[in-house]
Structure 1
Amino acid sequence: MSLIKPLLAFRPNKLDWIFATKTFIAGMLALYIAFALNLSYPIWAIGTVFVIANPYAGMAASKSIYRLLGTLFGAIFAVAVMPSLINMPWLLVLVLAIWVGVCLYISLIDRSPRSYVVMLAGYTAVIICFNSIYYIETVSIFDMALGRFLEISLGVVCSAVVNAIIFPMHIGPVIQMRVSKTIQDTQHVFDAILSDEKHQNNYTQLLANITRDTSDIHTMAEHLDYEKSKFKGMTKPLQELLHQMTMLVANLVAMSERMKQLDQIDLNYRQYFQDFHQHINDFLQNESEVKADELLYLPEHFEQKFQQITTQAKPEQWVILGSLKMDIRHFIQNIRAVRLIWQRMQAGDNSLPESIVPLTTAYPSLHRDYGVAVRGGLSAFLTTIVACAFWILSGWKSGFMLAEMATITACILTFLDDPVPALKLFIRASIYASFFVFIYAYGIFPHLTSFWEVMVVLAPFILFCLMLYLHPPLHGLGLPLIMSTVMGLNLQNRYSMDQVAFFDMTIATIIGPIISVFMVHVVRSMSPDMTVQRMLALHYKELRQAIHMPYGTGFRIHLRGVLDRIGVLNTKQVQSQVLKDEINNALIEASAMVDFTRLQELIDKLPPKSALKASLLELQKVLDECLAQRESDSNNRTFEAQLNQQFAQVIQNIASIEDKEIQQRIEISINNIRNSICHIPTDLALNTAHEGASYG
């Protein structure tokens, strides 16, 4: 990836300057105190400031606490295992490699910011153990562990103090803006779906973007407990609001599909639908406050106005209109639930209304890729083994730095689909840093005699690197460049530089990441297309699980996980148009999950020996087989002929049921499943409606 164009186009703004200046002050403060206290490794204090740097106080504070906890757990593990294994280097390496691999695995399956604790605990133990071996004649393992914890604590405290005093920025207002925008976006899509006769917009893509945004906000919400904005302590209600938003997305997807079906049959109903649409908007927009005991309220004359539309529509549209009516009714109730939670949050109330059943669980039902986690943990394990083997067999004293850097780089970027390009940029930054270290160490520092002079000469370089942090194309250069330079300088109270050690360490910091690049490429690296294919397989697996689920809180939590995965899918930069279409279809398919549960509920109400019940059970079986086939090959459609045949059998048997309500509800669910799962065009859809019926 070329950095020349982004660097030439880079123009720091006011926020860049404020962020860089605050972080520089915090770093220099940490370094000064470390010097004053005569701590052994001041670079760990200043390095911590740069690692946890973030423009938002809450995000910086949470990462600070997570860094402290991760360092503590890693230090405890190092102190526990090293004294017993110091004379058995291969066994020590094996234990540390297993520790790193397991920690990284746990970190990768936990998508919350807390995952940083576990990942850091993994490679912190390696840093402490390997540094202790290098300095074994002068420093004990306990002193090394204690020193790292104290110096990192110093960096954390300095960062927190400066962030709290100098132009503090909170993430609360950012979340408020994004939540308000997401709620407005859902209402905008609702209006657009009901008013667009030509279906010019891809509403499925717009709704997938909303799902992606809710996943982003869900992660940001974790930081609210660590700042002083008005949303402090609102993490749980905010996450619940986002869970409720998923039901809105499911409603809107279903509405979009039903409107397309209706319009393909006939547009005459539209002239009556406009008045109904306006009636709903008036009801939703005129509410200044939503009351908890009124969540199930609908606009006045809702049933009568919709019945008028049904009366004027063609008979073959009645089943679809019945489904549309249910979706609109649920949308109104769900949007009011979201508004109520948001309304209470803005008033400072972090409790949920009693009428809303929470979907939040102790372990949130978000997408987790266990396959990637296993491969990530395995790549870190093998990288540690190979790097340490190189160190031990070569007898190279500075090889400890090679092993450290290999392990660290095998961990820090594994959340990416393909970490290799970012790791290559890390290596380039390490090479660039070696030149800066050489210039500072041998050209500038020998002439300095006071701390303020050190500050002055470091300021231009550090400020420039820090200003790259907030620009995604350049962040991958700024952080490794500043960290490699600071660590390479190894600032001490009595500064001295060993030329042989300098070149040894420089070579080690470059070779280490090269080893991790190779291992990650072989074991962990995947293209976005491959990642999407794996995620689509998980998508179809969870659709299968929903076939027999009853409607309730458990199902809604399950649906939340499915829609979250679709949000993640829409962040992938795939090249294949086929995969892009599959991602687009995934959201439509997810909307059929509600009808799976409705169908299961209706099956339980049918007589045991009825032909309709038997055909519905057979339909569930064929659906399961069809989705299982797609799970292994998302493009395989060989089961669809059998599925269509079974749909026809169900439709034929519907007339045998005397209960008209059950009859109508089955027709609605069959239409929705057939359209959403098989993507059947409307001219082949159900036309078995009942004259004068009112659906929903």
Structure 2
Amino acid sequence: MAGSQVLSRLPQPGDLRRALFEWARSDGVTWVYIAKVLTAALLTLWLAMRLELPQPSTATITVFIVMQPQSGQVFAKSFYRILGSIIGLTVMVALIAVFAQERVLFLLVVALWVGACTAGAARYRDFRSYACVLAGYTATLIGLPATLHPEAAFMSAVWRVLEISLGILCSMLVSAVVLPQTSSAAMRNALYQRFGAFAWYVLDNLGGGQRQRFEAANVNFVSQAVGLETLRSVTAFEDPHMRMRSGRLARLNNEFMVLTTRYHALHQLLERLRTQGGDRVLAALEPCLDELREMLLPWKSKALTDVDAALLAEQLEARRLRLMQRIRDAREELRGKVQDVSERLDFNTGAELLYRLVADLHDYALTHASLTEQRHERENWKFGFSPKANLVGALVSGTRTALMVLLFGVFWIETSWPSGSTFVLNAAAVAALVSAAPNPSKMATQMAVGTFFAAILGFFETYFVFPHLDGFPMLCLAVAPVFAFGAFLSLRPGYAGYGLGLLVFFSFGSVPANMTLYDAGRTLNEYLALVLSQSAAAVMAAVILPPTSAWLWRRLEKDLRMRVVQAISGKSDGLVATFESGTRDLLNQAYGVAAGRPDVQRGLLRWMFLVLEVGHAIIELRNEQDKLPLEACYAESAPWRKAIRSMGRALIRLFVQPGEANRERALAAVELAIATTKATEEPCAPDFESSPLRRVVSYLHFIRTTLLDPQSPLRDASQGKASHVA
């Protein structure tokens, strides 16, 4: 008996297998990545030495920069690295040919070029940013040393291209062959899990829920939308099957954003009814909400595969008809009980939002189900997701870097410091690399600390270890621990800067060249220049208009408000896609630069909610007007359409300059538009389904309730309070 109890406590084969799989999905991924980084770096180093390239360190550094956990990311980053390098080298060779005899003028032109590239790197929030970084960094890498020997500039550029290409090829080969982690698999998994999370989110908050969890879920969906767009763009480099579905994947991401916006509008309306005593309207809507619960309950927190999506689409089609009948029955019942016009408007608005939500769910399921086919008509989607940072913030980053190159370059010229070119080019490189980070000063400081330890380790290995080694295998044993530790740090979000500084600048200063010169004084000078340049870059990023300060928060808040202006006056073609993606990308940026300031983040989140509510209602109004039949009552000159245009101007004024007077003016314009539209007679039946103007009134009423919401950030602005903390 005792023996059987002992045996029962021993790990079973199934337990060991599950533990192994769990390790493989967590820590195992980290160790596989470290092994791949080591393999790619050492293979590149061996080939660079065998091919007698002048600077094997450049090829090795390329590996550390482009290597990513997923192969699609490696392919995308490699493509943009070689593209940026070629552009930078071409520009710099041309500049050397023109300004080789004028060092000061050459330095001024280089500073302008690097500043423009840094501004581009800060502006674009995808892999195009990396191409801009390399276009500027490679230019300084070739251009500044070439001021001393301009006759060698062309050959230096050719060698750099060969060294970078070798690092890229080895990285791509190892990433694709050695236990590949594909971006397409990561994207499929994210798509499958996302709908279950959305179903949980709806069911958890439909009856009220906790405000904190509701906001956290919205922020998570925002980051998912931006992250999935990045995954979609990199899978095109990796998987031809995903490339054939790229349009549908972009469409699916946009439809999911529309889903979350629609549900948020419905949730906000229900919350206002709960706080303002709309019990009769809530009771009338409850059977309709039960229908939505029944639709989503089977999918709560469950994965939705492409095959499951086809089944869901069939279910939604049948339930949508049943929901329509429930809405009609509830409307008739409410009409007999309630005489208050405002309550009827509340019901019609809620019913319209609910019905549109189910229609959006159906469209999402159809698009998801279409992924099973190689070609499908839903692939025809031309509206992409182009994440861009604030233009003023990007120009500030570019100006800061240009001033840095110019200032440090003058210091180099005046002092004739032997390692001055290293000082200038690495300051420019670090400034460009950290320009897209939410906190450039913190990132640059981490890189400086990593470089400091790289200097200690590099000097020790160069002068106390390398002289005693014999053969390439022993060299691998000497550098592998540093490479492995740096790769481990680079995977940790809070320590990525330390890892990048250690890997890149240990290689820069200590990886042996094919013709190595041992000069301790020069080595110390180079490492001193590296540490000082990065420290100076961190100081300048912290002093000259840092993006973590209040000026950028205010700019991002204004950019969020201006999304409403775009919804009112932008082109109709693709307006939903650009509005949804742009608004979410702005919030994603804002959360990054306001890290550590939850009060600021909450204020920006409130503005995003308001912008989505009002902006989406305006877009629906525009769509309704675009679909109107050719009747006299729907003409452009009709009083109700003039009133809506007047309302649009009032809303533009409100969101450009929030204040109580502008809010009251906008509210009066909305109420006039409601009254004018309700007074317009239509030739069609006055039923909600057949009357375009009844639907127009419902969206106008939703805008009105939003402007009256006591929790709106417009109230803070009206009372003279800042919605963010300076």
Q: Structures share a fold, TM > 0.5? A: yes
Distance 2:645 2:62 in 1: 60
Provide the residue aligned with 1:360 in structure 2: 383
CA separation of 1:623 and 1:52: change in aligned 2, threshold 3 A: same
Contact 1:42/1:151 (CA < 8 Å) preserved in 2? yes
Residue 185 (str. 1) matches residue 197 (str. 2): yes
- Note the residue ranges of structure 2 that are not aligned, 5 or more in a row: 1-25, 300-307, 713-726
Structure 1 residues 376-419: Cα deviation after superposition (integer angstroms, max 9, x where no partner): 11112111111111111111222111111111011000112331
Structure 1 residue 188, shift from structure 2 partner: 2.6
Provide the residue aligned with 1:588 in structure 2: 610
SS of the aligned residue for 2:422 comes to helix
Provide the residue aligned with 2:705 in structure 1: 675
CA separation of 1:463 and 1:597: change in aligned 2, threshold 3 A: closer
Provide the residue aligned with 2:344 in structure 1: 318
Provide the residue aligned with 2:662 in structure 1: 639
Deviates more, 1:502-511 or 1:657-666: 657-666
Structure 1 residue 150, shift from structure 2 partner: 0.6
Structure 1 residue 91, shift from structure 2 partner: 1.4
Residue 444 (str. 1) matches residue 456 (str. 2): no
Distance 2:293 2:285 in 1: 12
Structure 1 residue 527, shift from structure 2 partner: 1.6
Residue 259 (str. 1) matches residue 275 (str. 2): no
Contact 1:57/1:170 (CA < 8 Å) preserved in 2? yes
Distance 1:298 1:626 in 2: 40
Contact 1:243/1:359 (CA < 8 Å) preserved in 2? no
- Equivalent positions of 1:332-343 (< 5 A) are 332-343=358-369
CA separation of 1:342 and 1:663: change in aligned 2, threshold 3 A: closer
Provide the residue aligned with 1:203 in structure 2: 214
SS of the aligned residue for 2:273 comes to helix
Structure 1 residue 478, shift from structure 2 partner: 1.0
**TM-score, normalising length: structure 1:** 0.86
Residue 539 (str. 1) matches residue 551 (str. 2): no
Q: 2:236 aligns with which of 225, 247, 263?
A: 225
SS of the aligned residue for 1:140 comes to helix
Distance 1:26 1:256 in 2: 51
Distance 1:663 1:592 in 2: 18
Q: 2:178 aligns with which of 149, 166, 178?
A: 166
* Corresponding letter in the other structure for 1:640: R
Q: 1:623 aligns with which of 651, 673, 678?
A: 651
Provide the residue aligned with 2:119 in structure 1: 105
Distance 2:548 2:166 in 1: 40
SS of the aligned residue for 1:300 comes to helix
Contact 1:417/1:525 (CA < 8 Å) preserved in 2? no
Structure 1 residue 555, shift from structure 2 partner: 4.6
Distance 1:514 1:560 in 2: 36
Structure 1 residue 579, shift from structure 2 partner: 5.4
Distance 1:23 1:554 in 2: 43
CA separation of 1:300 and 1:616: change in aligned 2, threshold 3 A: closer
Structure 1 residue 557, shift from structure 2 partner: 2.9
Provide the residue aligned with 1:82 in structure 2: 96
Provide the residue aligned with 1:429 in structure 2: 450
Contact 1:93/1:385 (CA < 8 Å) preserved in 2? yes
* Corresponding letter in the other structure for 1:192: D
Structure 1 residue 662, shift from structure 2 partner: 5.7
Q: 1:150 aligns with which of 162, 171, 176?
A: 162
Contact 1:548/1:597 (CA < 8 Å) preserved in 2? no
Structure 1 residue 617, shift from structure 2 partner: 4.2
CA separation of 1:209 and 1:111: change in aligned 2, threshold 3 A: same
Distance 1:348 1:52 in 2: 33
Distance 2:75 2:343 in 1: 56
Structure 1 residue 436, shift from structure 2 partner: 0.8
Provide the residue aligned with 2:6 in structure 1: none
Distance 1:583 1:461 in 2: 42
Contact 2:352/2:695 (CA < 8 Å) preserved in 1? no
Provide the residue aligned with 2:433 in structure 1: 412
CA separation of 1:457 and 1:543: change in aligned 2, threshold 3 A: same
Structure 1 residue 520, shift from structure 2 partner: 2.7
Q: How many residues align?
A: 658
Deviates more, 1:238-247 or 1:224-233: 224-233
Q: 1:349 aligns with which of 374, 379, 399?
A: 374
Provide the residue aligned with 1:53 in structure 2: 67
CA separation of 1:551 and 1:677: change in aligned 2, threshold 3 A: farther
Structure 1 residues 460-496: Cα deviation after superposition (integer angstroms, max 9, x where no partner): 2221111112111121111111211111114123544
Structure 1 residue 257, shift from structure 2 partner: 1.5
Contact 1:193/1:255 (CA < 8 Å) preserved in 2? no
- Note the residue ranges of structure 1 that are not aligned, 5 or more in a row: 1-11, 631-635, 683-696
* Corresponding letter in the other structure for 1:55: P
Structure 1 residues 590-643: Cα deviation after superposition (integer angstroms, max 9, x where no partner): 22223324555669956778765565444333222211113xxxxx44422333
* Corresponding letter in the other structure for 2:36: K
Q: Which structure exhibits the higher relative contact order, with contacts defined as CA atoms closer than 8 Å and separated by 6 or more residues? A: 1
Contact 1:418/1:527 (CA < 8 Å) preserved in 2? yes
Deviates more, 1:164-173 or 1:178-187: 178-187
Contact 1:359/1:556 (CA < 8 Å) preserved in 2? no
Residue 561 (str. 1) matches residue 582 (str. 2): yes
Distance 1:609 1:34 in 2: 74
Distance 2:378 2:700 in 1: 34
Contact 1:465/1:478 (CA < 8 Å) preserved in 2? yes
Distance 1:464 1:498 in 2: 27
Q: 1:508 aligns with which of 505, 529, 532?
A: 529
Structure 1 residue 52, shift from structure 2 partner: 1.2
CA separation of 1:454 and 1:280: change in aligned 2, threshold 3 A: same
Structure 1 residues 552-592: Cα deviation after superposition (integer angstroms, max 9, x where no partner): 53354334322332344344425262651342242233222
Contact 2:434/2:443 (CA < 8 Å) preserved in 1? yes
Structure 1 residue 130, shift from structure 2 partner: 2.1
> CA RMSD of the aligned region, Å?
3.1
Q: 2:544 aligns with which of 519, 523, 532?
A: 523
Structure 1 residue 256, shift from structure 2 partner: 0.6
Structure 1 residue 353, shift from structure 2 partner: 2.1
Contact 2:84/2:130 (CA < 8 Å) preserved in 1? yes
Deviates more, 1:50-59 or 1:236-245: 236-245
Deviates more, 1:552-561 or 1:121-130: 552-561
Distance 2:225 2:313 in 1: 23
- Equivalent positions of 1:650-661 (< 5 A) are 650=673, 653=676, 656-659=679-682, 660=686, 661=691
Provide the residue aligned with 1:665 in structure 2: 695
Contact 2:401/2:431 (CA < 8 Å) preserved in 1? yes
Contact 1:276/1:305 (CA < 8 Å) preserved in 2? yes
